[in-house]
């Protein structure tokens, strides 16, 4: 979680003892006696959201504890399944979501698999061997090591949440090493193949054909991701600064905006699109079915399937155009740090080097053939 806990005040501005708020969710703080005799604070998630309702709920929980009947109920360490529900409910009901709906949907699928594995087990009883067993089962069912690693990442998010609530002190995932795997090398889309694909999109009788052709060229020249590029507006393009900003809406993959500087091809493409844009449209890629509404294209996959079939390039996906951009940046001799910033890679230059380093080596070998040492060449000629 990014924001800190804040004390809650009543209508008169007075601090409400024991009530804290974070990300629009309220917590009750109690001091709990530990096995070693220490009294440590623990925050309990509340169902209520208004101060008055929270005060009433806190009083009920204190009464349960003071009466002795089911005294440990508010403080008992929950099962993994219960904690999953709390984690997902928190994120899905936030006034200002920290995660996109599509991200939460994928997390829910992954967490449901963990729930089937040890959903009934209390959080503090889950150990690394239990996690490794889950990963082994995934591999036996034909899933890739990368998929198993992503499942562990999702599991870690729940345990971080549980640690913040005081349910666990250490994460069982800390002792789990990711499975090693060799990333599949994607074939590089060549210039002539890319040209044919764009031609087929332009010639398509589909209403989305011209939009698709613009979209393909934009992805290839900017390195943009599919969804973030579809949402772009003309206010994200600056012809004065020669830049296009991705993620200004806060919905990029990592939640951060990034700037891509114009290269000649990108600038020419954007100027051509801007010159023929509809004056009432604020989106770079408007929906062909927008009518009187100003809405962006929602999905160009169907149009891509038709164009790539006509071009005999059925292996090409939208993400291959991001690779096209990165590959040609590397082969043009650009430094990896600049490319990583344009692509929005938080891992920095490491991923660029890992995925595209072989292209840089090929480029250097070709450049080596252009090196000329005049005096040395003359000496060799005389000696022969």
Please indicate, yes or no, whether residues 138 and 32 belong to a single structural domain of this protein: no
Contacts of 250 (CB under 8 A, 6+ apart): 257
Closest CA to 45 of 19, 67, 65, 12: 19
Please indicate, yes or no, whether residues 215 and 305 belong to a single structural domain of this protein: yes
Joined tokens for residue 170 = 């250490």
Each residue's pLDDT expressed in tens, for the chain with a length of 384 residues = 456 788 888 878 888 888 888 878 888 887 766 556 667 777 788 888 888 888 888 887 776 555 544 434 445 788 999 999 999 988 888 777 677 777 888 999 999 999 999 999 989 899 999 999 999 999 999 999 999 999 999 999 999 999 988 888 899 999 899 998 876 777 788 889 999 999 999 888 777 778 899 999 999 999 999 989 999 999 999 999 999 999 887 776 666 788 999 999 999 999 999 998 888 888 898 887 766 777 777 788 888 999 999 999 999 999 999 999 988 888 888 888 888 889 887 666 666 666 666 666 666 677 777 776 765 555 555 555
pLDDT value of residue 36: 61
Full-model pTM: 0.60
CA dihedral 60, 63, 68, 73 (to 10 degrees): 30
pLDDT value of residue 158: 95
- Do the domain assignments include residue 380? no
pLDDT value of residue 327: 87
Measured N-to-C along each axis, helices 336-343 and 349-368 cross at an angle, to the nearest 10 degrees, of: 130
Domain count, the chain: 3
Contacts of 311 (CB under 8 A, 6+ apart): 193, 196, 197, 199, 200
- Do the domain assignments include residue 382? no
Angle at 324 between CA 154 and CA 102, to 5 degrees: 25
Domain boundaries, position 239: 191-368
- Do the domain assignments include residue 182? no
Please indicate, yes or no, whether residues 226 and 134 belong to a single structural domain of this protein: no
**CATH value at residue 252:** 1.10.443.10
Please indicate, yes or no, whether residues 120 and 149 belong to a single structural domain of this protein: yes
State the burial class of residue 289 (Cβ atoms within 10 Å of its Cβ: 0-12, 13-18, 19+). Answer: exposed
C-alpha to C-alpha distance for 358 and 332, rounded to whole angstroms: 13
Please indicate, yes or no, whether residues 202 and 318 belong to a single structural domain of this protein: yes
Please indicate, yes or no, whether residues 336 and 195 belong to a single structural domain of this protein: yes
C-alpha to C-alpha distance for 362 and 330, rounded to whole angstroms: 10
- Do the domain assignments include residue 384? no
- Strand order from edge to edge, sheet including 258-261: 237-238, 243-246, 258-261
pLDDT value of residue 130: 94
Of 24, 53, 75, the last residue of a domain is 75
> SS3 sequence, 154-193?
HHHHHHHHHHHCCCCCCCHHHHCCCCCCCCCCCCCCCHHH
- Do the domain assignments include residue 376? no
- Do the domain assignments include residue 373? no
Of 115, 141, 175, the last residue of a domain is 175
**CATH value at residue 107:** 1.10.150.130
Please indicate, yes or no, whether residues 128 and 218 belong to a single structural domain of this protein: no
- Do the domain assignments include residue 374? no
pLDDT value of residue 69: 45
Please indicate, yes or no, whether residues 97 and 115 belong to a single structural domain of this protein: yes
Please indicate, yes or no, whether residues 222 and 85 belong to a single structural domain of this protein: no
Q: What is the DSSP letter of 370?
A: T
Of 26, 41, 75, the last residue of a domain is 75
- Do the domain assignments include residue 375? no
Please indicate, yes or no, whether residues 94 and 65 belong to a single structural domain of this protein: no
Please indicate, yes or no, whether residues 43 and 90 belong to a single structural domain of this protein: no
Please indicate, yes or no, whether residues 261 and 280 belong to a single structural domain of this protein: yes
């Amino acid at each position: 979680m990014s924001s800190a806990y804040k004390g809650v005040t009543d209508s008169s501005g007075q601090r409400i003892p024991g009530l804290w708020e974070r990300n629009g969710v309220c917590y009750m703080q109690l001091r709990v006696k530990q096995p070693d005799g220490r009294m440590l604070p623990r925050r309990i998630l509340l169902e209520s959201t208004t101060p008055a309702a929270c005060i009433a709920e806190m009083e009920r929980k204190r009464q349960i504890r003071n009466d002795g009947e089911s005294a440990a109920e508010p403080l008992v360490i929950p099962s993994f399944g219960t904690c999953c529900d709390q984690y997902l409910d928190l994120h899905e009901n936030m006034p200002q979501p920290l995660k996109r709906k599509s991200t939460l949907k994928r997390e829910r699928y992954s967490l449901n698999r963990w729930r089937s594995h040890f959903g009934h087990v209390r959080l503090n009883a889950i150990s690394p061997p239990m996690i490794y067993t889950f990963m082994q089962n995934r591999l036996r069912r034909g899933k890739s090591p990368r998929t198993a690693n992503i499942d562990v990442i999702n599991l870690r998010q729940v345990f971080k949440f549980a640690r913040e609530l005081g349910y666990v002190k250490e994460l069982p995932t800390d002792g789990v090493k990711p499975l090693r795997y060799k990333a599949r090398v994607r074939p590089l889309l060549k210039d002539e193949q890319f040209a044919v694909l764009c031609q087929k999109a332009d010639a398509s009788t589909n209403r989305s054909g011209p939009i698709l052709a613009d979209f393909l060229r934009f992805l290839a020249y900017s390195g943009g991701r599919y969804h973030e590029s579809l949402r772009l507006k003309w206010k994200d393009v600056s012809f004065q600064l020669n830049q296009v900003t991705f993620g200004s809406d806060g919905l990029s993959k990592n939640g951060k905006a990034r700037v891509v500087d114009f290269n000649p091809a990108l600038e020419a493409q954007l100027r051509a699109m801007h010159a023929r844009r509809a004056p009432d449209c604020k989106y770079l890629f408007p929906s062909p079915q927008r009518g009187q509404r100003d809405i962006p294209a929602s999905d160009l996959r169907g149009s891509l399937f038709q164009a790539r079939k006509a071009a005999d390039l059925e292996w090409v996906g939208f993400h291959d155009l991001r690779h096209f951009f990165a590959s040609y940046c590397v082969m043009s001799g650009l430094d990896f740090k600049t490319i990583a910033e344009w692509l929005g890679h938080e891992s920095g230059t490491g991923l660029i080097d890992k995925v595209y380093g072989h292209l840089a080596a090929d480029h250097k070998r070709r450049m080596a053939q252009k090196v000329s040492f005049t005096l040395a060449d003359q000496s060799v000629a005389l000696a022969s």
